[in-house]
Amino acid sequence: MATRTAERARDDTRLALLFILPALIGFVVFLLWPTIRGVYLSFTRFNLLTPARWSGLDNYTRMVQDPVFWNAMGVTVYYVVVNIAIQTALAMVIAVLMQRLTRRTWLRGLVLTPYLVSNVVAALVFLWILDYQLGIGNRVLELIGLDRIAFLADSGWVIPTMALINVWRHVGYTALLIFAGLQTIPETLYEAARVDGANEVRMFRRITLPLLRPVMAVVLIVTVVGSFQVFDTVAITTRGGPVDSSRVLQFYIYEAAFSRFQFGYASAMSVALLAVLVVITFVQYRLTRAGTSDLAGGG
């Protein structure tokens, strides 16, 4: 009997490894190996035409002294702050409204619809809508008595505009993540609060927000990491203009690699971005105590 149990366990292990193998191969080929290769190339001079030559910390020294790199980093941080602030606030409002007013499945599908549109398509559509001369957006502004706005050609408007484009696309997905977190909060807590005379605002502050903290921590980590990697919208709409005001770090890395063939320097900037994301993720995780739940503690 013990022998049959041991054989069945071995068979299950082999079957599990067989199912895991395709994902493991994809992880090694498309993520792990490119990461290791990129870290190595960051210490070399490489332009595709000649073999990579070891250059030590030259690329990192150049990066620290490169004003365009620091401008790109600043523009990226500005974009992330605007995007995350607006997206999180809107997603929270949408999720709470779905939770408190209606939970119909078709509404969740409708909210998620923009997320099904690719970044490139969304950027192209808004490029036409917000065009200064022919865009319907500026036409609407004129009809209500306002002046036209160069949304994607004015240095003061370009980053908020791109942030709003991506908010439109991602806010539904973020709202559904928060909505899923709201489902884990027992309704009995709200019923007890109503008996005590608490209104909706107070219940949101004292019950919803504290118990939603682990979910919000994960949502913020995912959205911040994703926002730092913005590329498609910039590449389609402005290509870094006007005057570097929308040249985010991902686009600068792309230019260094595929316009100037400086793959070593582009790899160094990619490694620097990776390090920044690791630090931000670690700090967010610790500050938000994402691994603990007030609900579990209360139980």
pLDDT in tens, 106-115: 777 888 889 9
Question: What three-state secondary structure class fits 147?
Answer: coil
Residue with tokens 């107070």: 202
Q: Identify the weakest region by mean pLDDT among 101-110, 229-238, 258-267.
A: 101-110
Tell me the pLDDT tens digit for each residue of 61-106: 999 999 999 999 999 999 999 999 999 999 999 998 888 777 677 7
Q: How far apart are CA 129 and CA 152, in angstroms?
A: 11
Question: What three-state secondary structure class fits 269?
Answer: helix
- 293 CB-contact burial (10 Å; exposed 0-12 / middle 13-18 / buried 19+): middle
Radius of gyration of the chain (CA): 24
**Farthest-apart Cα atoms in the chain, separation:** 85
Q: What would the two tokens of residue 180 be?
A: 């899923």
- Distances from the Cα of 185 to the Cα of 40, 51, 81, 210, 216, angstroms: 47, 58, 29, 10, 13
Which domains occur in the chain, in start order? 67-117+158-298 (1.10.3720.10)
What pTM value is reported for the model?
0.88
**Which element (helix H / strand E) includes 54?**
strand 53-54
